[in-house]
Amino acid sequence: MTSTTDLVAFAAVFAALFAAHSVGDHWVQTHHQACAKGAPTAVGRMACARHVATLTVTKAAALAALALATGLVFSPLPLLIGLAVDAASHYWADRRVTLARLAERLGKGDFYRLGAPRPGTTDAPHLGTGAYALDQSWHIGWLFVTALIIAA
């Protein structure tokens, strides 16, 4: 049986990761990273890697703040493994073609394309669209897994 303390630690870790994800994915990420990270080029791969690096630092900072404010102590190995799993899952999805292919295979292709801009426009197709909703739900699902790993 899991103790109440373990459950509270898991919930606190998830909340910290969730808040940091939102900040890191929307405020910390640069415009260049957001626009270039899905490109099938070295520039795209580097933009995505830089985004994931700053996102991971943001999440680590949130967990550090949680530890300072509450006295929660993290075991180093689960912390590193959890953040690495989260970073890898985030990079995979943010390369865009990977998530789009998964959506197609699962019968969600029409939803993924929902709200996509017309060809020739400068709209960002990953904001406020089916692609954005699937992207964010992917990330939140992995935040849950990450919190389980870190709080284990």
Locate 9 and state its tokens. Answer: 């630690």
Q: Which amino acid is at 1?
A: M
Count of domains forming the chain: 1
Can you give the pLDDT at residue 119?
Answer: 72
Of residues 136 and 125, more confidence is placed in: 136
Average pLDDT value for residue range 1-19: 91
- Tally Cβ neighbours within 10 Å of residue 10: 17
In the predicted model, is pLDDT for residue 127 greater than 70? no
71-113: pLDDT as tens digits = 999 999 999 999 999 999 999 999 999 999 999 999 999 999 8
Can you give the pLDDT at residue 121?
Answer: 64
Residue 116 carries which DSSP code?
A: P
Range of the domain at 27: 4-151
Can you give the pLDDT at residue 94?
Answer: 96
pLDDT-derived band at 122, boundaries 50, 70, 90: low
SS3 content of the chain, % helix, strand, coil (to 5): 75, 0, 25
pLDDT-derived band at 129, boundaries 50, 70, 90: confident
Can you give the pLDDT at residue 32?
Answer: 97
In the predicted model, is pLDDT for residue 1 greater than 90? no
pLDDT-derived band at 3, boundaries 50, 70, 90: confident
Residues 129, 9: Cα–Cα separation, whole Å: 34
- The DSSP code sequence of 19-60 is HHHHHIIIIIS-HHHHHHTTSSSHHHHHHHHHHHHHHHHHHH
Average pLDDT value for residue range 126-141: 87
